[in-house]
Amino acid sequence: MIRENPEVFCAEVLVANSNADLLIQQALEFNPNAVVIADESKYQQVKSVLQPKDIKVFAGTKAIEQIVEMETVDMVLASIVGYAGLASTINAIKHKKQIALANKETLVVAGELVTRLAQENGVNIYPVDSEHSAIFQCLAGEWENKIEKIYLTASGGPFRGKKRNDLLNITKAQALKHPNWSMGAKITIDSASLMNKGLEVIEAKWLFHLDPSQIDVIVHPQSIVHSIVQFEDGSMKAQMGLPDMKLPIQYAFSYPFRIKNNFTRFNFMDYPNLSFEKPDLDTFTNLKLAFTCMNKGGNMPCVLNAANEVAVQAFLEDKIGFLQMSDVVGNTLEKVPFIKSPDYSQYMACDKEAREIALSQF
């Protein structure tokens, strides 16, 4: 976005986990005020290259939390994967930074807390997930009209149409082959198990102030219709486009304006048939678990997310099978006590407890 629109956007801060080489490369191109590398062992490598260029270099997770406080930062693109992104997003909101949210776990884990803080600080949360961006785009100009239902679309992942017996010996290599999207390992596995769609369901509840009964999921293998809003008069709006994250990111950055770009355009003749199916909740039980947690509320979505992060990592390390991920999550949900309205410290304790229970199962 910045490369194509340098007169509109500039990078004030760049953050990386451990990819020092890419951080250095991007910093040399975009010349930010500062960078942060979470992996402290990479600090000297980054510093030796960037400090002579008058780019400040910081390291560690605490620095990531603190860097969002810089006065020159207008918007924070929150895209750290998983629970790890919560603290910096909350701190950014407390310092009245607008949020472009790519980290769905922030609202899954602590949606009530985060949305309340955003309201108290006059902060807008602009969705970056393609599905939630689609809903947001469909609602533009419709703020006074009541939503009857939203439909989040799911590609179905690489195992669409498979039954449980077909998934007994799935390997991580198979699960990492998403048919439409190019994503990191964690989110790709979540997509294959439909947990990603479950997390998005919970995120949508908080983003759009919806009752759980207003949210549904439909499987759409082509990933062209990104999501649909149905209004109380029965009319439906859908946002369509190629499966490419650049457009949702640009819309979050530029809202309420649309900026001209050179992205590849959709051609109907390339997709003469768009199809839709009901998700298989008996095979992909993660989605069912997510709906249950959304309905129960409290700390249950936090438990769901923590157990899932542990389970996915275990699957990627060949410690458990594909179907066992759902078992780990389900068992953990049964063992963590319910808290109706947790505060931040309780969310942290709950996350820790859920991870310990999940780890004890393999």
Give pLDDT, residue 225: 98
Give pLDDT, residue 182: 66
- Structural domain tally of the chain? 1
CATH of the domain at 34: 3.40.50.720
CB 35 within 8 A of CB 58: yes
Kindly state whether residue 163 falls inside one of the protein's structural domains.
no
H helices then E strands: how many in the chain? 14, 10
Kindly state whether residue 46 falls inside one of the protein's structural domains.
yes
Domain that holds residue 73: 13-135+241-270
Query: What's the rounded Cα separation, in Å, for the pair 283 and 288?
Result: 10
Kindly state whether residue 113 falls inside one of the protein's structural domains.
yes
Kindly state whether residue 55 falls inside one of the protein's structural domains.
yes
Element at 201 (helix H, strand E) = helix 195-207
Give pLDDT, residue 181: 66
Kindly state whether residue 252 falls inside one of the protein's structural domains.
yes
The residue count of the chain comes to: 362
- Which residues lie across from 230 on neighbouring strands? 149, 236
Residue 161, Cα to own-chain centre: how many angstroms? 25
CB 70 within 8 A of CB 58: no
Give pLDDT, residue 183: 72
CB 150 within 8 A of CB 215: yes
pLDDT in tens, the chain (362 residues): 899 899 999 999 999 999 999 999 999 999 999 999 999 999 999 999 999 999 999 999 999 999 999 999 999 999 998 888 999 999 999 999 999 999 999 999 999 999 999 999 999 999 999 999 999 999 999 999 999 999 999 999 999 999 999 999 999 999 998 776 667 889 899 999 999 999 999 999 999 999 999 999 999 999 999 999 999 999 999 999 999 999 999 999 999 999 999 999 999 999 999 999 999 999 999 999 999 999 999 999 999 999 999 999 999 999 999 999 999 999 999 999 999 999 999 999 999 999 999 999 99
Kindly state whether residue 95 falls inside one of the protein's structural domains.
yes
Kindly state whether residue 82 falls inside one of the protein's structural domains.
yes
Kindly state whether residue 353 falls inside one of the protein's structural domains.
no
Its pTM surpasses 0.85: yes
Q: What is the 3-state secondary structure (H, E, C) of 231-290?
A: ECCCCEEEEECCCCCHHHHHHHHHCCCCCCCCCCCCCHHHCCCCCCECCCCCCCHHHHHH
Give pLDDT, residue 148: 98
Place of tokens 């992942």: 157
* Strands of the chain, DSSP E: 13-16, 34-37, 56-59, 75-78, 98-101, 125-127, 147-154, 215-219, 225-231, 236-240
